[in-house]
Amino acid sequence: MNILHTSDWHLGKTLYGKKRYEEFEAFLNWLVDTITEQAIDVLLIAGDVFDTSAPSNRAQALYYRFLCRVATSTCRHVVVVAGNHDSPTFLNAPRELLRALDVHVIGSACDNPADEVLLLADARGEAELLVCAVPYLRDRDIRVAEAGESIEDKERKLVDGIRNHYAEVVAEAERQRTELGRHIPIVALGHLFTAGGKTEEGDGVRELYVGSLAHVTASLFPDAIDYLALGHLHVPQKVGGSELMRYSGSPIAMGFGEAKQQKSVCKIVFDRTPGAAGTERQAAAVQLINVPVIQPLERIKGNWEQLQARLLELAVLESSAWVEIIYEGEAVISDLREQLDAAVGSSAMEIIRVKNSRIVERVLAQRGADETLDDLDMNDVFARCLDAHEVPQEQRAELLHAYQETVVSLQHDDTRAE
């Protein structure tokens, strides 16, 4: 049995105003071809299918067209869980119709653990795989707020809530396996931030559980899981060094910080022959399949000579990269953008963003007259607000935590829900 694990497509995402639909379409075309070439039986999509809770018509068309093509391929089942960027209501809306195509969608946490356990059959109709389809767990799904609780109490409840949810769902999968009387694999999905997870600057990864990220460790997940397919982090990586707990990462670079990163999807191979109940389980074999670069990104840092040399090198190579420039030279160049455009000339490259660090440093004392919101994250903006109102240092930690909780809560509202 061959399984393919992917996540974090972020269909509809733009890069500094540049639409990327051609990239998304090319990736999905490649994925359909890969499913056929690799004889994939089950496709797992671990959240963040879309970049926003209200995706554009074009982004929706890409998603549904892809699912229809997969339904006519060698792939027997597709399992989709929601990520923190997705609207649970929107993903769930067509799930009864999609079920006819053997596409199984879980948009939000279910009250009954059995509703998150999928028993998938092979071409002969015999059970071959149990899937614990756990979506992104929102704060309200796993924690009951109480008056007077401390920050530490909230963090502990969040971690305990995630642990208990996985324990209940996996226990239900084990119960169903016992009833079958055969040892078939259990795989689990999830969309969360685990301890030690790697991120990249500008990748758009949001904090999920404020203050508790470092405490969601690999040991939280039940031992009965034969493979854990995670989403949320865009860098392909293992969890706690385990070959069988992985983030597939995003299939295309979501920001210039990921420009040099090799993107991939995970192929997991299980022996098709299930053993008798209670026998030693067959370990999964995991292989990374590299995703081809569709739209090259290039981040160039340095003084004018270094910038000019690299742009010339790329032009000679006939690069079609989208370029981010970070000028770090000592000399002040007031017409930097104009000189860069001239250096690019008639090549296929396009300069998407220019950050003139020298100018920013000179005006920093005047609160960044040359800065834009692209140069600041949400915590930077709040810090500026605290400075402007001369809030004492001893009050800032608690205010920052309350602010972060508010922002996370707003991000998690399902705007499609009635």
pLDDT of residue 408: 59
In b/e form, how buried is each residue of 164-200, taking b as 16+ CB within 10 angstroms? ebbebbbebbeebbeeeebbbbbbbbbbbbbeebebb
Q: Strand 186-191 and strand 227-231: pairing?
A: parallel
pLDDT of residue 97: 94
pLDDT of residue 197: 78
Q: Please name which of 208, 193, 229 lies closest in space to residue 143, comparing C-alpha atoms.
A: 208
Domain 297-412 listed as CATH 3.30.930.10: no
How far does the chain reach from its first CA to its final CA, in angstroms? 40
In b/e form, how buried is each residue of 20-56, taking b as 16+ CB within 10 angstroms? bbebbbebbebbbebbeebebbbbbbbbbbbbbbebe
Residues of the chain with confidence (pLDDT) below 50: 210, 214, 276-277, 364-365, 367-369
pLDDT of residue 229: 98
Burial class (CB in 10 A: 0-12, 13-18, 19+), 241: exposed
**In whole angstroms, what is the distance from residue 310 CA to residue 302 CA?**
10
Q: Can you name the residues that pair with 275 across neighbouring β-strands?
A: 183
pLDDT tens, position by position, 147-180: 667 777 777 888 899 999 999 999 999 999 999 9
pLDDT of residue 396: 72
pLDDT of residue 198: 79
Dig out the tokens for 14 from the structure.
């733009």
Dig out the tokens for 180 from the structure.
């079958």
pLDDT of residue 59: 97
Structural domain boundaries in the chain: 2-290, 297-412
pLDDT tens, position by position, 215-251: 688 999 999 999 999 999 999 999 989 999 999 999 9
**In whole angstroms, what is the distance from residue 35 CA to residue 39 CA?**
6
pLDDT of residue 359: 59
pLDDT of residue 202: 60
pLDDT of residue 288: 97
Contact between residue 322 and residue 254 where contact means Cβ atoms under 8 Å apart: no
Domain 2-290 listed as CATH 2.30.290.10: no
